[in-house]
Amino acid sequence: MDEKNEKFRFGFVYPLVSAVVDALAYVNLVELFKAIGMKLARSEADRRRYASVAIDLYVVFKWGVLICLWWARVNHPLATIAVAYLIAMNVFVYLYYHVWRPPYDPSRENRRRRFVNLLLSIVYNAACYAYLYNLPFAHDFTVTGPFDAFTASAFLATARSMLVDFPNMAPATAIGQALVLSQTFVVFLFITIVLSASIPQPDPDNKPD
């Protein structure tokens, strides 16, 4: 295959998407945690273990950031941008490390760890949206029934994670509707990633004649 044909072997859409994904990996904060962890490893054999610990520390860090912002009732555009970044990187991390970068460790423990990470990612996504519903975009929603704003926000974010409605809290503006739709979109991304990762992959060594 000549150089011209090789350049367009996979068309132009996939290479473009691949370039975007690789670029996003450089702005993914978990990579900094991993780099520090592997730097602290005393031997090559410890690098993987240190990287795993660093990833867990990042999970604790992002939960800590969200909890502190919510606990302190921080309602600032920079906080909103930070939470939006955490939402985007939350779904990106699961895509990048569970679908985009094969091969992965097929051991039983790793499969269980991936399942735990998936659950944590989905719960974290709902928690981030609950924060957005409750503080930065509170005026874009109406709350009815025996619920305070905090509880209603948590119920709405949980309901949208299961792709169902929560009638006691509804968007009152176009911005609120767009925010709810964005959560639905992110949930569909998670579903797509899970389905993609669940599809059996053919053996690359078993090529047809």
pLDDT band at 118 (very low <50, low <70, confident <90, very high): confident
Domain ranges in the chain?
10-198
- The mean per-residue pLDDT over the stretch 122-142 comes to 97
Residue 29: Cβ-neighbour burial (10 angstroms; 0-12, 13-18, 19+): middle
Residue 171 phi, psi (nearest 5): -60, 135
Host H or E run for residue 206:
none
Give counts: helices (H), strands (E), the chain: 8, 2
pLDDT band at 132 (very low <50, low <70, confident <90, very high): very high
Host H or E run for residue 171:
strand 169-171
Residue 148 phi, psi (nearest 5): -85, 170
The predicted-structure confidence for 143-193, as pLDDT tens digits, reads as follows 998 999 999 999 999 999 999 999 999 999 999 999 999 999 999 999 888
The predicted-structure confidence for 21-67, as pLDDT tens digits, reads as follows 888 888 888 888 988 888 888 887 788 888 888 889 999 999 999 99
Structure tokens at 128: 């981030």
Burial 97-132, CB ≥16 within 10 A → b, else e = bbbbeeeeeeeeeeeeebeebbeebbebbbbbbbbb
Residue 53 phi, psi (nearest 5): -65, -40
pLDDT band at 198 (very low <50, low <70, confident <90, very high): low
